[in-house]
């Protein structure tokens, strides 16, 4: 369990970004484990306890379509962006880009001031 | 695999009926994927390794909570209104309990001073159980019906910055607790003074001496003003200059009455009106201490309110 103040701040910071990362990864269909693996390979490590409930919540909100499929001898639930999810992803991407371009210089300025 | 089945079943037991099968099925598929990945790494997977994996997933109850977080009985949007209603209702119940028990006591019910306090407390608690339950259930139902309608905090839809009270110091805000405590005390005092006169046939006799009763009867209008002032405070919840001045006036009258009563015997102890079994001296001394305490409290409030008045 994460209890230190910095862990809590990190968790808070990651919470919103994870939604963006999951939505972006689900442009292609994935089942829970394969999605987790893809995110991990991309450098975004999410534990199962966070990821699986998050996917279900996004599906409940209509942002993801899901379908049970048989593969390699057993069933898996595949998720993919819905039409609504695609729209939301575009809006969130714009928001992320705008925030990133605003916050990036702020962080760099503080870093430069510290160095001088 | 028996261990996995038991784990899934344990998670499902903690889930609501309508989600049990679906989440169980999906969780199982996810865990089987993880086991399969382990098999690909190590060749085969022992029961101990499966147990370690399940331990990493977390306690079944925790996993179930992650999928279906508990819904609070009262939503955050309704919480301020819920607390306000609760305080108001509990305050009114406290006043009612004080009036009811005081009237029972004055009506001749055998009870000592300690029993009198205990009766107020138990009568109040009895009403509180019901009120608390009823209010909480009411707000829980409201929370369910409002859940999908709005994320606005209740009572914050219609407002305008022009109608906000003036920016002020924190002391200017009057707490409900203060208002209701004072209201209950004042009402109990009025009943104590007037009950034998209202109910001459009840056999109830005043516990005060004739001189004290005369002082208190003359003092009644001040108590009535204080009660009206308290009711007004319930409406405004904010100290203004005129309210401070009125409070200083009322407290000065209380101070004068306390000083007058300190100079003479207060209780009519010998005729049996005082039934708490305490010795006469102890009872008289208790009253003296009580009057000194009242005088000190109101003197403090006079000084406090005067300073506030001049600093404001």
Interface confidence, given as ipTM, is 0.82
B53 domain residue, yes or no: yes
Given CB atoms, is B26 within the 8 Å cutoff of chain A? Answer: yes
Q: What is the mean pLDDT of residues B303-309?
A: 90
Q: Are residues B138 and B179 in the same domain?
A: no
If one counts the domains in chain A, the total is 1
Would you say residue B26 has pLDDT above 50?
Answer: yes
CB pairs under 8 A between A and B: 41
Averaged pLDDT, B47-64: 91
In the block, which residue shows the tokens 């999410």?
A46
B174 & B151 share domain:
no
Positive or negative, the CA dihedral B141, B144, B149, B150 is positive
Please give the Cα distance from B261 to B285 (Å, whole number): 13
Q: Do B32 and A48 touch (CB under 8 A)?
A: no
| B162 domain-assigned | no
Q: How far apart are CA B12 and CA B67, in angstroms?
A: 11
> Is B29 close to A32, i.e. CB distance below 8 A?
yes
* pLDDT in the model for residue B276: 52
Give the N- to C-terminal CA distance of chain B in Å, as an integer: 76
Question: Are B79 and B63 found together in one domain?
Answer: no
Count: domains in chain B: 3
For CA atoms B143, B147, B153, B159, give the dihedral sign: negative
| Euclidean distance between CA atoms B267 and B209, whole angstroms | 5
Domain end residue (candidates: B137, B156, B175): B156
Instruction: Give the chain A residue nearest B68 (alpha carbons).
Output: A53
The secondary structure of residue B175, as a DSSP letter, is P
Lowest-confidence segment of A21-30, A54-63, B169-178 by average pLDDT: B169-178
Q: What is the pLDDT of residue B209?
A: 80
Residues B145 and B259 in one domain: no
The dihedral over CA atoms of B5, B7, B8, B9, expressed in degrees to the nearest 10, equals 80
- Domain shared by B25 and B84, yes or no: no
User: Between B221 and B99, where is the model more confident?
Assistant: B221
Find residues 55-114 of chain B whose CB sits inside 8 Å of chain A.
57-58, 62-63, 66-67
The chain-wide mean pLDDT, for chain B, equals 82
What are the residues whose beta carbons fall under 8 Å from the beta carbon of B88, sequence distance 6 or more?
A: B176
> Based on the domain organization, do B175 and B267 belong to the same domain?
yes
Q: Do A32 and B57 touch (CB under 8 A)?
A: no
Residues 32 through 61 of chain A touching chain B, CB cutoff 8 Å:
32-34, 37, 48-50, 52-53, 56
- From residue B279, give the alpha-carbon distance in Å to each of A56, B106, B108, B211, B274: 74, 20, 20, 22, 10
Using a CB-CB cut-off of 8 Å, the residues of chain A touching B57 are 48-49
Question: Following CA atoms B146, B152, B155, B159 in sequence, which dihedral angle do they give, to the nearest 10 degrees?
Answer: -150
A77 has a chain B CB within 8 A of its CB: yes
pLDDT over 60 at B275, yes or no? no
| Residue B42 binned pLDDT confidence (cut-offs 50, 70, 90) | confident
Q: Is the pLDDT of residue B243 over 70?
A: yes
pLDDT band at A90 (very low <50, low <70, confident <90, very high): very high
Same domain, B50 and B88: no
Query: Does position B108 have pLDDT exceeding 70, yes or no?
Result: no
- Residue B250 inside a domain? The answer is yes
Residue of B nearest to A70 (CA): B29
**B204 and B277 housed in the same domain:** yes
Q: Tell whether A78 is within 8 A of chain B (Cβ).
A: no
What whole-number distance in Å separates Cα of residue B151 and Cα of residue A36?
32
Asked if B116 and B252 sit in the same domain, the reply is: no
pLDDT per residue as tens digits for the range A33-84: 999 999 999 998 888 888 999 999 999 999 999 999 987 778 999 999 999 9
B27 contact A CB<8A: yes
* pLDDT reading at B273 higher than 50: no
Comparing B32 with B107, which gets the higher pLDDT? Answer: B32
How close is the nearest chain B Cα to the Cα of A55, in Å? 10
From chain B, the residues in CB contact with A76 under 8 A are 29, 33
Phi, psi values for residue A31, rounded to 5°: -100, 170
Tokens 């209509």 locate to: A62
Contact between A31 and B37 using a beta-carbon 8 Å cutoff:
no
CB < 8 Å to A48, chain B: 30, 34, 57
Which pair of structure tokens corresponds to residue B19? 């989600």
Cβ A52–B29 below 8 Å, yes or no? no
Q: Which domain holds residue B117?
A: 71-156
Average pLDDT over residues A16-32: 93
Q: B44 and B86 in one domain? A: no
Of the residues B105, B134, B156, the one at which a domain ends: B156
Average pLDDT value over all residues in chain A: 89
Considering the domain architecture, whether residues B231 and B123 belong to the same structural domain is answered as: no
Of residues B30, B58, B66, nearest to A33 (C-beta): B30
**Where do we find the tokens 């015997």?**
B265
Indicate the length of chain B as a whole number.
312
Q: What is the pLDDT of residue B218?
A: 85
pLDDT computed for residue B228 by the predictor: 92
Task: Look up the domain containing A22 and give its range.
Answer: 5-115
Domain end point (choices B31, B51, B67): B67
Lowest-pLDDT choice from B37-46, B187-196, B274-283 = B274-283
Residue B153 — very low, low, confident or very high, per pLDDT cuts 50/70/90?
low
For residues B63 and B140, state if they share a domain.
no
Per-residue pLDDT at B205 exceeds 80: no
Q: How far is B62 from chain A (nearest CA, A)?
A: 9
> Do residues B259 and B299 touch, judged by C-beta distance below 8 A?
no
pLDDT higher than threshold 80 for residue A103: yes
- The shortest C-alpha distance from A67 to chain B (Å) reads 11
Residues 6+ apart with CB under 8 A from B240: none
Q: For residue A46, which residues of chain B lie inside 8 Å, CB to CB?
A: none
Please write the tens of the pLDDT for every residue from B118-127.
Answer: 888 898 898 8
Q: What is the mean predicted confidence (pLDDT) over B221-231?
A: 91
> What's the rounded mean pLDDT across residues B88-102?
82
Residues B116, B122, B127, B128, CA torsion sign? positive
For residue A93, the domain's CATH number is 1.10.10.10
Nearest CA in chain B to A56: B67
pLDDT number for residue B142: 87
Q: Is the pLDDT of residue B114 over 60?
A: yes
More confident residue, B167 or B69: B69
């Amino acid at each position: 369990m994460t209890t230190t103040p910095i862990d809590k701040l990190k968790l808070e910071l990651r919470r919103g970004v994870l939604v963006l990362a999951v939505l972006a990864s689900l442009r292609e269909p994935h089942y829970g484990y394969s999605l987790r693996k893809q995110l991990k390979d991309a450098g975004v490590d999410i534990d199962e306890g966070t990821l699986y409930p998050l996917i279900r919540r996004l599906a409940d909100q209509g942002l993801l379509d899901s379908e049970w499929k048989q593969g390699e001898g057993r069933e898996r639930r595949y998720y993919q962006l819905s039409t609504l999810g695609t729209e939301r992803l575009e809006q969130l991407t714009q928001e992320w880009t705008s925030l990133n371009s605003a916050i990036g210089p702020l962080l760099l300025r503080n870093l430069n001031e510290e160095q001088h | 695999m028996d261990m996995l089945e038991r784990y899934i079943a344990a998670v499902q037991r903690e889930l609501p009926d309508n989600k049990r099968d679906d989440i169980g099925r999906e969780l199982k598929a996810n865990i089987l994927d993880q086991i399969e990945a382990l098999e690909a790494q190590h060749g085969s997977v022992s029961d101990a390794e499966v147990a370690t994996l399940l331990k990493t997933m977390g306690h079944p109850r925790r996993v179930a909570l992650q999928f279906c977080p508990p819904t609070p009985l009262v939503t955050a949007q309704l919480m301020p209104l819920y607390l306000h209603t609760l305080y108001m209702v509990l305050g009114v119940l406290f006043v009612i309990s004080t009036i009811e028990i005081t009237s029972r006591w004055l009506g001749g019910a055998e009870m000592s001073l300690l029993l009198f306090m205990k009766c107020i407390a138990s009568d109040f608690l009895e009403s509180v159980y019901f009120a608390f339950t009823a209010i909480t259930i009411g707000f829980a139902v409201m929370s369910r019906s409002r859940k999908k309608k709005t994320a606005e905090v209740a009572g914050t839809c219609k407002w305008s910055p022009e109608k906000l009270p003036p920016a002020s110091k924190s002391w200017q805000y009057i707490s409900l607790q203060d208002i209701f405590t004072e209201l209950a005390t004042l009402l109990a005092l009025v009943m104590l003074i007037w009950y034998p006169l209202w109910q001459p046939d009840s056999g109830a006799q005043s516990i005060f001496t004739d001189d004290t009763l005369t002082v208190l009867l003359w003092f009644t209008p001040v108590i009535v003003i204080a009660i009206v002032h308290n009711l007004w405070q319930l409406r405004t919840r904010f100290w203004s200059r005129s309210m401070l001045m009125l409070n200083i006036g009322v407290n000065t009258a209380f101070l004068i009455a306390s000083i007058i009563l300190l100079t003479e015997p207060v209780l009519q102890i010998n005729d049996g009106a005082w039934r708490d079994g305490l010795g006469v001296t102890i009872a008289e001394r208790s009253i003296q201490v009580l009057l000194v305490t009242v005088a000190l409290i109101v003197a403090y409030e006079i000084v406090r309110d005067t300073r506030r008045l001049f600093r404001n």
